[in-house]
Amino acid sequence: MPWHIEANNPGCSGYAVVKDADGEIEGCHRTRGQAERQLAALNIAESEARSPYSPTQAMREEAARGLAWREEYGRGGTAIGVARARDISNGRQLPLETVARMVSYFARHEVDKQGQGWSPGEDGYPSAGRIAWALWGGDPGRSWAEEILAAEELEDEEDDEMEEEEEEVEEDRAVDFPRRREIEEMLAQLRARRYS
């Protein structure tokens, strides 16, 4: 966490939200609760800033196609799908949480590919399911989102493994330390006998 809360910081009265790196005050608050809310907002904003992902050109084109189809045919997608398509088609960077929602959407709606009107030349093309799929970035969006989520999960697994190893070392130290003290005491007694 790159910020912390300080009570009675010389730079402001009450509670200060302070940047860890340089001690810069990000905000002064009368109550700790207000400072905690700012701290939470800063952490959320930083999390989203650290992990924005830019849609590919193929995704942007597919989302724009979905918006055009929806306007032309008056079907397909929900308000959330339309909002997602606008973000994607405009090239807006997407946070990891949105990428995860995209993976979930595509997994739930894979079955729509079996419906009538999914493929060109079929009656009812483009079907409501095909339009909705396009709104979320289509097949390019699915591949993109799955790759990002897989990479993030791998990184999380590596972090978890490192934490587990650190915990094991700490546990070993906790077990070894009392035994080391016992041995040191025995050595001290032996030395005392030898020199007395």
26 residue type, one letter? E
17 pLDDT more than 70: yes
Specify the pLDDT at position 20: 86
**Banded pLDDT at 192 (limits 50, 70, 90):** confident
Specify the pLDDT at position 21: 84
Q: How far apart are CA 68 and CA 59, in angstroms?
A: 14
What mean pLDDT do residues 146-167 have? 72
Give tens-digit pLDDT for 21-30.
888 888 898 8
Specify the pLDDT at position 46: 65
120 residue type, one letter? P
* Closest by Cα among 5, 55, 44, 51 to 28: 5
Cβ burial of 55 (10 Å; 0-12, 13-18, 19+) is: buried
95 pLDDT more than 70: yes
| Chain centroid, CA 106 distance in Å | 18
Specify the pLDDT at position 138: 97
Pairing of strands 15-19, 3-7: antiparallel
Give tens-digit pLDDT for 172-187.
555 556 666 677 777 7
Give tens-digit pLDDT for 57-93.
999 999 999 999 999 999 999 999 999 999 999 999 9
Give tens-digit pLDDT for 97-148.
999 999 999 999 999 999 999 999 999 999 999 999 999 999 999 999 999 9
**Banded pLDDT at 94 (limits 50, 70, 90):** very high
